[in-house]
Chains A and B, each alone.
Chain A
Amino acid sequence: MAELQSGGGGGCCPPMDLFRSEPMQLVQIIIPIESAHLTVSYLGELGLLQFKDLNSEKSPFQRTYAAQIKKCAEMARKLRFFKEQMLKAGILSSVKSTTRADNNTDDLEVKLGDLEAELVEINANGDKLQRAHSELVEYKLVLQKAGEFFSSALTSAAAQQREMESQQTGEMTIETPLLTDKEMSADPSKQIKLGFIAGLVPREKSMSFERMLFRATRGNVFLRQAVVDEPVVDPVSGEKMEKNVFVVFYSGERAKNKILKICDAFGANRYPFNEEFDKQAQAISEVSGRLSELKTTIDAGLLHRGNLLQTIGDQFEQWNLLVKKEKSIYHTLNMLSLDVTKKCLVGEGWSPVFATKQIQDALERAAFDSNSQVGAIFQVLHTKESPPTYFRTNKFTSAFQEIVDAYGVAKYREANPGVFTIVTFPFLFAVMFGDWGHGICLLLGTLVLIVREKKLASQKLDDITDMTFGGRYVILMMALFSIYTGLIYNEFFSVPFEIFSHSAYACRDLSCSEATTVGLIKVRDTYPFGVDPVWHGSRSELPFLNSLKMKMSILLGVAQMNLGIILSYFNATFFRIGVNIWCQFIPQIIFLNSLFGYLSLLIILKWITGSQADLYHVMIYMFLSPTDELGDNQLFPGQKTAQLVLLLLAFVSVPWMLLPKPFILKMQHQGRHQGQSYEPLQSTDESLQPDTNHDSHGHEEFEFSEVFVHQMIHTIEFVLGAVSNTASYLRLWALSLAHSELSSVFYEKVLLLAWGYNNILILIVGIIVFIFATVGVLLVMETLSAFLHALRLHWVEFQNKFYEGDGYKFSPFSFALLDDEDE
C-alpha cells in the first residue's frame, strides 16, 4: 500500500498534489481522560483530523459529555439573550479583541449567569417603571379628554337652560310655570344617580366595545368616545397602539358590574375620574409632577442598562467564540468511546498521512500542558473502508475544485479532473465567448474583486456577490482566455481591428466594384494571427466562420474526450486493474479514434491541403458503402483501404469492450475464492476495535448476470456516446455564433443607427441603450449561458469517460470552520 501511494506522484514527474487526493490513514488515539479536553482543543486548532462517531447508537443525552453540552447550550442561550438586548438598545458588539482571555468556562458560566440576572432585574425594574409611566400618561389623557366632555356638556346644558328660561320668560302662559315648578321639585328626589366609568380602549376594538355595551345593557348606557391622536404605550403589553378615550354613563349596580366585566374583556384600562373641575385640575397637576419624576428615574435606569450592555458588548464576540469552541469540543468528545476502565477515551478518525507529525506534536503538547502523567497514544489502524477525499487546494485552485465537486466528490485517490479543468474550463468558455472587448470588461470586473480580496473576504456578502467572489479566479481565467480567443476571432464588440498587420487581401482596382462579385486578390502574406479582418461584413463571412468554428469544435471535442479516455488508463494503472486497460481503455480509444479521430485527421488535412473534398460525404459513405470509390473526395492516396481498416477496427472494438471483461472478472473471482471454504479467523488486532462491522468486505457475492448487464450498459453508453458527445461539442460553435451575431446586432442596429442621425441627443440615448444591452445581455446572460455549457461539457462529455465521483469529502474537526457553520 505504501509503495503504491508513493508511486502515485513520484518517479519521473514532480509530485502532483492535486491530481490525486492526499493519502489518508485511519488513526486511533487513546487519550487519558484528564487531558482529553485540552487534546481535542489542540486538535481542533490543527484541524486535520476527522473524528468518527463511535457512539452513533446512543442518543444525544446518553453520551458521556451531555451535561457539559447542556451547559454550553445554556451559555449560548444567555449570549443570544444579550445579543437580542444589545440589538434592542442599538449597541454593537465591538470586534476588537481584548487581550485578557479568560479561558475558564466555569468562570465564564458564573459571570454570564450574574450578568443575565442583573440584566433581567434591570429590565424588570425598567418595565415596572415604564408601566407606571404609561399608566400615568393614559390617566392624564383621560383627565384631559374626559374633562373636555364634561365642560362641553356643561356649556351646552347651560345654553339649553338659558334657552329654556328665555322661552319661559317669552311665553308666559298659565300652565307652564306650574308644570316646570312641579318638574323642578320632583327631579331631585326621583333622579337616580348616574354613574360613569372613564378609560382608554384600543381603537380597533372600540366599535365592538360599543356594540357589546349596547347589547349587554339593552341600550341603557351613554357612551362618549374621543380619538387620541398619537399612539399610546399600552401599560400591559408595552406596545404602542392607537386608542380612544371613553366615558360610559350608566345607572344601576348590575349594569356597572357588566360594564366592568366588558372593560376587562376588551382590555380597556379604567381610571378614577372626578366630576368637579377643581379636583380634575388638581389631579392633572399631580399626575404631571409624578410623570416628570418617573421620567428621570427611567432615564437613569436606561443609562445604567446601557452601560451594562456596553461592557457586555466589549467582550461579547470573545465569549461567543469561546462558547462555540467549547461546545464543538464536547460534541467531538462525545464521539469518542469510553474505555472499559473509564480512565481513557478512545477515538478513531481519518487524517492525511502528512499530518501524522503535527498530530503527534499536538498530542504531546496537550499531555505536557495538562500535566498528565501518561501521554496520549497514537496509532495507525488498517482498514478496508474507503477513506475520505482530501485535496490541498489554495485560493486559486479551490474554485475549480468546487466545480468538479459539485458533480461528485472524487473517489479516494482517483485521477482528479480538477487539474485539467483549471485550463480547459475557461478555454471552452472562451471559445463560446470570444470577444476581446467583452473579455476586457470581464477582466476589469474581476480585477476589482481580486484587488479588494482581503476586504471583501472579511465581510458578509449577499448570495450573488458571494458566488461571484468565490469564483473570482475562475472568472479571471475566463476573461484572459476570452481576450485570447477574441483576438483569434478578431472581434472587439464585434468590430474587427487590424492589430497584427494589414489585411492580406485588397480590391482589384480603386473603385472596388468587383469586390462582391469576383472577389479580392491577395496582396500580402497571410494575416499572422487569427481571422483576417477583411472577412467582416463580406457576403461569405458567415459560411467561412461557421465552417471554421464547426471544425474547430470537433477538433477540441475529440481532443478532450481522448484526454478523458487516457485518464481512465491512468486510473487503471494506479489501482492495478489490468482488465480495465485491456478490455476497456484500448477498445475505447480505438473506437473513438477510428471514427472521430479519423474525421479530425481529415479536417486537418483539408486545412493543410486546401482540398475541396466534402467531409460529410466521406464520413457518411464510409458506413453506407465503404467499398465505393471516393472520387473527388479523396484526400490522400490509399484512403479507401485506410477507411476499410478503420471501420473494421471500430466494429471489432465493440464486442471487445462488451464480452471479455465480465468473463475475466468471473475467473478472477473464482480464483480468489478457490479453497476458501473456511472463514479466516479475525485477527486479534481487529477484535480490539470496537467497530467490526466495516470489514465485512471481500466476501461479497459475485453475480455474473449483474456484471454482464452493467458492462452491456457501459458499452452501449460509450458507443452511442461517442457520436452524441461529439455532436454535443458543436454547442461551442453554436454559442460562439450566437454571441458574435448578438453583439454585431447591438453594434450595428443601436450604436451605428444612432450615430447616423447626427443628433447628439439620439446619440447619447443610443450609447446608453448599447451599454445596457452589452452589459445585461452579453456580459451577464451570455456569460452565464457559456458558463453553463462549459460546465456541461466538463461534467458529461469529459468526466463520464473516467470519473467515478463516488467518494466523500474530508471534513476535519477544526475551529477555523466553526464560524461559517452556525450563522
Chain B
Amino acid sequence: MYGFEAMTFNIHGGYLEAIVRGYRAGLLTAADYNNLCQCETLDDIKMHLSATEYGPYLQNEPSPLHTTTIVEKCTLKLVDEYKHMLCQATEPLSTFLEYITYGHMIDNVVLIVTGTLHERDVQELLEKCHPLGMFDSIATLAVAQNMRELYRLVLVDTPLAPYFSECITSEDLDDMNIEIMRNTLYKAYLEDFYKFCQKLGGATAEIMSDLLAFEADRRAVNITINSIGTELTRDDRRKLYSNFGLLYPYGHEELAVCEDIDQVRGVMEKYPPYQSIFSKLSYGESQMLDKAFYEEEVKRLCLAFEQQFHYGVFFAYMRLREQEIRNLMWISECVAQNQKSRVHDSVVFIF
C-alpha cells in the first residue's frame, strides 16, 4: 500500500481533506493577532473577531462579554467543525478522528475525579470539561472512590478502558495518584494512537509518527521537570515515559535520573531537533519552555499541511485550532485584566 495511497485516497478521504484545508484557511493570521493585541476592551475583540470565521458564533452575544464566553463560543465552533467531519468520515478516518478526542477524555476524567476529591459541585465541573472529551456517563465518575471502582463503574464503557490495565489499584484516590493515572493513561493512549497510525501506513504513518513522537518527548520532558523534588522514584518516573519517540530508549534512561532543570537541558541538547528549543532559554529557566514547545509544535503541525493524501492534516488542524483558542483566551484575559504588556508572553502565532 505504501506509496499508492494517492491513487485511492480521494475515494473516501478527498472530500474531508478539502474541507479541513478550507477550515485551515480560516485560521487567524499574524495580522489578525497584531490587531487583536491592540484591542482595548473585550468588545473590540468581538468586533475584530466578527470579521473572521468566528463572526456567526459571537454576533448574538450581548455586550458585557466575558473571557469565558469568547472561549466557549470559539470552542463551540471547533466542536461543530469536528462533528461535521466525524459525520462525513468513513473507516478508518472516523476512528482516527475519534482518537484525537481521547486526550481530552483523559483530561476530563482527571478533572472530574480531582474535582470530586476536593468536594466540588459536579455540574460546575462538567461545565469546565472540554466538550470534545465528553462521554455519556462522565458525570458518574463522581461515584468512584478508587481506581478499581473508577474502571469498573464508568470507564469500562469508554474507549479509554484498554488504557487502564496499567493502573488498576485499590488505593484510594489522591492528587499524586491521579496525576500518575493521567500520565499512565496518556502514555497508553499515545502508544495506542501511534500503533494505529503505523497500521494505517503510508504518508499518514510517516507524518503522524513524527507529530506523536514530538508529543511523547514533550510529555517526557514535562514529567521529568514536574517530578523533580517529589517522592516519585526513578523507576516510577521511567515507567511514565511512552515507549517511542526520539528520546526512546536512551534519552529516557538519562531523563529518569535528572535532578534539576539544567540536567534535563543537558540531556535534551544531545538531540538536534530539540537543541534549538533549549538554546532559546537561559540556564535554569523553565517558565518559557512551554511556549517554546508550543512554537515548535505549531511549526511541525503547519508542515503537515505541506503533504497531501494523509490523515495528519486532521490532527494538525484540530491542534492548531486549539492553540488558536488558547491564544484568544490569553489575549482576552490580558485585555480584560489590563495586562497588555504581557500579551506577547504566551501567544503563539500560527502563520
Write the residues of chain A forming the contact surface with B, with a CB cutoff of 8 angstroms: 59-62, 66, 69-70, 73-74, 77, 80-81, 205, 208, 212, 215-216, 258, 261-262, 264-266
Ordered nearest first, which 10 A-B pairs have the shortest CB separation? A265-B139, A265-B140, A59-B35, A61-B44, A261-B143, A61-B47, A215-B153, A261-B142, A258-B143, A74-B63
> Are the C-beta atoms of A265 and B153 separated by less than 8 Å?
no
Task: Determine chain B's interface SS by DSSP, over half rule.
Answer: helix
Q: Which residues of B lie under 8 Å from residue A208 when comparing CB positions?
A: 136-137, 157
- Residues in B98-148 with C-beta less than 8 Å from chain A: 122, 136-140, 142-143
Closest B residue to A62 by beta carbon equals B38
User: Could you pull out 30 A-B pairs where Cβ atoms are within 8 angstroms?
Assistant: A59-B35, A60-B47, A61-B44, A61-B47, A62-B38, A66-B44, A69-B47, A70-B47, A73-B50, A73-B59, A74-B63, A77-B59, A77-B60, A80-B59, A80-B60, A208-B137, A212-B140, A212-B154, A215-B152, A216-B143, A216-B153, A261-B140, A261-B142, A262-B143, A264-B122, A264-B139, A265-B137, A265-B142, A265-B143, A266-B137
CB distance from B288 to the nearest CB of A (A): 29
**B62 is an interface residue with CB less than 8 A from chain A:** yes
CA distance A205 to B157 in the complex (A): 14
CB distance from B55 to the nearest CB of A (A): 11
CB distance from A94 to the nearest CB of B (A): 24
Closest B residue to A77 by beta carbon equals B60
Closest B residue to A204 by beta carbon equals B136
**B48 is an interface residue with CB less than 8 A from chain A:** yes
> Are the C-beta atoms of B153 and A66 separated by less than 8 Å?
no
Q: Which residues of A lie under 8 Å from residue B153 when comparing CB positions?
A: 212, 215-216
**B51 is an interface residue with CB less than 8 A from chain A:** yes
CB distance from B349 to the nearest CB of A (A): 17
CB distance from A215 to the nearest CB of B (A): 5
Q: Which residues of B lie under 8 Å from residue A216 when comparing CB positions?
A: 140, 143, 153
Closest A residue to B154 by beta carbon equals A212
Q: Which residues of B lie under 8 Å from residue A266 when comparing CB positions?
A: 137, 139-140
Q: Which residues of B lie under 8 Å from residue A258 when comparing CB positions?
A: 143
Closest B residue to A120 by beta carbon equals B62
CA distance A258 to B116 in the complex (A): 13
**B43 is an interface residue with CB less than 8 A from chain A:** yes
CA distance A414 to B327 in the complex (A): 51
CB distance from B335 to the nearest CB of A (A): 12
CA distance A264 to B61 in the complex (A): 30
Closest B residue to A60 by beta carbon equals B47
**B39 is an interface residue with CB less than 8 A from chain A:** yes
CB distance from B118 to the nearest CB of A (A): 16
- Total interface residues in chain B, CB < 8 Å: 27
Q: Which residues of B lie under 8 Å from residue A59 when comparing CB positions?
A: 35, 38, 48
CA distance A128 to B152 in the complex (A): 39
CA distance A50 to B27 in the complex (A): 32
- Residues in B2-61 with C-beta less than 8 Å from chain A: 35, 38-40, 43-44, 47-48, 50-51, 59-61
Q: Which of A66, A69, A73, A212 contacts B137 (CB 8 A)?
A: A212
Closest B residue to A260 by beta carbon equals B143
Q: Which residues of B lie under 8 Å from residue A80 when comparing CB positions?
A: 59-60
Q: Which residues of A lie under 8 Å from residue B39 when comparing CB positions?
A: 61
Given contacts A215-B152, A261-B122, A266-B140, 20 further A-B contacts (CB under 8 A): A59-B35, A59-B38, A59-B48, A60-B47, A60-B51, A61-B47, A73-B47, A77-B59, A77-B61, A80-B59, A205-B136, A212-B154, A215-B153, A216-B140, A258-B143, A262-B140, A264-B142, A265-B122, A266-B137, A266-B139
CB distance from A232 to the nearest CB of B (A): 20
CA distance A545 to B48 in the complex (A): 66
CA distance A224 to B122 in the complex (A): 27
Closest A residue to B35 by beta carbon equals A59
Closest B residue to A259 by beta carbon equals B143
CA distance A91 to B48 in the complex (A): 34
> Are the C-beta atoms of A66 and B47 separated by less than 8 Å?
yes
Q: Which residues of A lie under 8 Å from residue B47 when comparing CB positions?
A: 60-61, 66, 69-70, 73
CA distance A61 to B139 in the complex (A): 43
CA distance A66 to B43 in the complex (A): 11
CB distance from B239 to the nearest CB of A (A): 29
CA distance A54 to B127 in the complex (A): 46
Q: Which residues of B lie under 8 Å from residue A264 when comparing CB positions?
A: 122, 139, 142
CA distance A69 to B139 in the complex (A): 44
Q: Which residues of A lie under 8 Å from residue B44 when comparing CB positions?
A: 61, 66
CB distance from A815 to the nearest CB of B (A): 22
Which of B44, B51, B138 has the most A CB atoms < 10 Å from its CB? B44
CB distance from A77 to the nearest CB of B (A): 6
Closest B residue to A66 by beta carbon equals B47
Closest A residue to B39 by beta carbon equals A61
Q: Which residues of B lie under 8 Å from residue A212 when comparing CB positions?
A: 137, 140, 153-154
> Are the C-beta atoms of A61 and B48 separated by less than 8 Å?
yes
- Residues in B146-203 with C-beta less than 8 Å from chain A: 152-154, 157
> Are the C-beta atoms of A81 and B140 separated by less than 8 Å?
no
CA distance A264 to B122 in the complex (A): 9
Which of B48, B63, B137, B140 has the most A CB atoms < 10 Å from its CB? B140
CA distance A546 to B153 in the complex (A): 84
CB distance from A57 to the nearest CB of B (A): 11
CA distance A212 to B122 in the complex (A): 17
CB distance from B350 to the nearest CB of A (A): 19
Closest A residue to B50 by beta carbon equals A73
CB distance from B271 to the nearest CB of A (A): 42
CA distance A205 to B62 in the complex (A): 35
Q: Which of B38, B60, B136, B138 contacts A81 (CB 8 A)?
A: B60
Q: Which residues of B lie under 8 Å from residue A66 when comparing CB positions?
A: 44, 47
Q: Which residues of B lie under 8 Å from residue A77 when comparing CB positions?
A: 59-62
CB distance from A253 to the nearest CB of B (A): 15
Q: Which residues of A lie under 8 Å from residue B137 when comparing CB positions?
A: 208, 212, 265-266
Closest A residue to B47 by beta carbon equals A61
CA distance A586 to B128 in the complex (A): 78
Q: Which residues of B lie under 8 Å from residue A205 when comparing CB positions?
A: 136
CB distance from A212 to the nearest CB of B (A): 6
A81-B60, A208-B157, A262-B140 given; A60·B43 CB < 8 A? no
CB distance from A625 to the nearest CB of B (A): 54
Q: Which residues of A lie under 8 Å from residue B43 when comparing CB positions?
A: 70
CB distance from A75 to the nearest CB of B (A): 11
Closest A residue to B156 by beta carbon equals A215
CA distance A262 to B137 in the complex (A): 9
Q: Which residues of B lie under 8 Å from residue A265 when comparing CB positions?
A: 122, 137-140, 142-143
CA distance A70 to B35 in the complex (A): 17
CB distance from A82 to the nearest CB of B (A): 12
Closest A residue to B59 by beta carbon equals A77
Which of A59, A69, A266 has the most B CB atoms < 10 Å from its CB? A59
Closest B residue to A58 by beta carbon equals B35
CB distance from B7 to the nearest CB of A (A): 34
Closest A residue to B51 by beta carbon equals A60
CB distance from B64 to the nearest CB of A (A): 11
Q: Which residues of A lie under 8 Å from residue B143 when comparing CB positions?
A: 216, 258, 261-262, 265
CA distance A20 to B40 in the complex (A): 50
CB distance from B189 to the nearest CB of A (A): 23
Closest A residue to B144 by beta carbon equals A216
Closest A residue to B152 by beta carbon equals A215
Closest B residue to A78 by beta carbon equals B62
Q: Which residues of B lie under 8 Å from residue A81 when comparing CB positions?
A: 60
CB distance from B227 to the nearest CB of A (A): 33
Q: Which residues of A lie under 8 Å from residue B38 when comparing CB positions?
A: 59, 62
Q: Which residues of A lie under 8 Å from residue B59 when comparing CB positions?
A: 73, 77, 80
CA distance A62 to B62 in the complex (A): 21
- Residues in B219-252 with C-beta less than 8 Å from chain A: none
CA distance A205 to B142 in the complex (A): 18
CA distance A176 to B55 in the complex (A): 82
CA distance A69 to B43 in the complex (A): 12
